[in-house]
């Protein structure tokens, strides 16, 4: 996919169209790049889990979206920052098993990793995560999904 840089405002009277290449299958561990992955949705679709590493946060405004297309049944889906200086700030909203209740988990100052284990921390079909590069060393994150058992935070400081 080619990149185009504009030096002034861009106006579209009929909207922007994103093609079928706006979806990326993640069936193995991967390191994302802004050129290949920004503005696209990464479908997490391997039951044995995968680790995805984000580009370094520099304040680009780039958005990286994830959709749990296949429930993880062994290992975990892990989304992590590129280096020890980058962190995440935001929340995970998790539907509790049983129907009509939810848990909300906040990041802490050192959060840099999201782990979806297929049960207590999410990773179940239909979960979504949106991560935006908002400043040098800082990502904004909102995660929505379902969990089972005793729900727990998907956020940790692991990088």
> Is residue 15 a part of any domain in this protein?
no
Q: Please indicate, yes or no, if residue 33 is contained in any of the structural domains.
A: yes
Count the Cβ atoms, other than its own, within 10 Å of residue 102: 12
On whether residue 10 sits in a domain, the answer given is: no
Instruction: Say if 66 falls within a structural domain.
Output: yes
pLDDT tens for the chain, 159 residues: list them: 456 667 666 665 544 544 446 899 888 899 999 999 999 999 999 999 999 999 999 999 999 999 999 999 999 999 999 999 999 999 999 999 877 899 999 999 999 999 999 999 999 999 999 999 999 999 999 999 999 999 999 999 999
pLDDT per residue over 94-118, tens digit each? 999 877 899 999 999 999 999 999 9
pLDDT given for residue 1 in this prediction: 46
Instruction: Specify the pLDDT at position 97.
Output: 86
Residues 6+ apart with CB under 8 A from 147: 94, 95, 96, 97, 103, 119, 120, 121, 122, 124
Which pTM value belongs to this model? Answer: 0.86
pLDDT score, position 27: 82
145: domain range? 21-151
Assess if residue 3 is contained within a domain.
no
Q: Which positions ≥6 away from 48 have C-beta within 8 Å? A: 72, 73, 74, 75
Task: Rounding to the nearest 10 degrees, give the CA dihedral for residues 112, 113, 114, 118.
Answer: -160
Q: What is the pLDDT of residue 70?
A: 96
Do 105 and 150 form a contact (C-beta atoms < 8 A)?
no
**Is there a domain that residue 7 lies in?**
no
Total of domains in the chain: 1
- Structural domain includes residue 43: yes
Q: How far is 129 from 97, CA to CA, in rounded Å?
A: 19
Q: Report if residue 48 sits inside a domain.
A: yes
Q: Convert the pLDDT of each residue in 126-146 to its tens digit.
A: 999 999 999 999 999 999 999
Structure token pair of residue 12: 């579209």
């Amino acid at each position: 996919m080619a990149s185009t840089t504009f030096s002034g405002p861009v106006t579209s009277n009929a909207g922007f169209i994103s093609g079928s290449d706006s979806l990326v299958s993640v069936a193995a561990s991967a390191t994302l790049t802004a050129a290949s992955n920004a503005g696209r949705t990464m479908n997490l679709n391997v039951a044995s889990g995968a680790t995805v590493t984000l580009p370094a946060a520099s304040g680009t405004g780039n958005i990286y979206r994830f959709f749990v297309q296949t429930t993880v049944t062994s290992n975990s889906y892990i989304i992590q920052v590129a280096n020890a200086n980058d962190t995440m700030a935001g929340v995970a909203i998790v539907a509790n098993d049983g129907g009509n209740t939810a848990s909300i988990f906040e990041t802490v100052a050192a959060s840099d990793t999201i782990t979806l284990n297929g049960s207590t921390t999410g990773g179940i079909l239909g979960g979504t995560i949106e991560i935006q590069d908002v400043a040098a060393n800082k990502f904004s994150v909102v995660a929505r999904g379902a969990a089972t058992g005793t729900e727990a935070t998907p956020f940790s400081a692991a990088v």
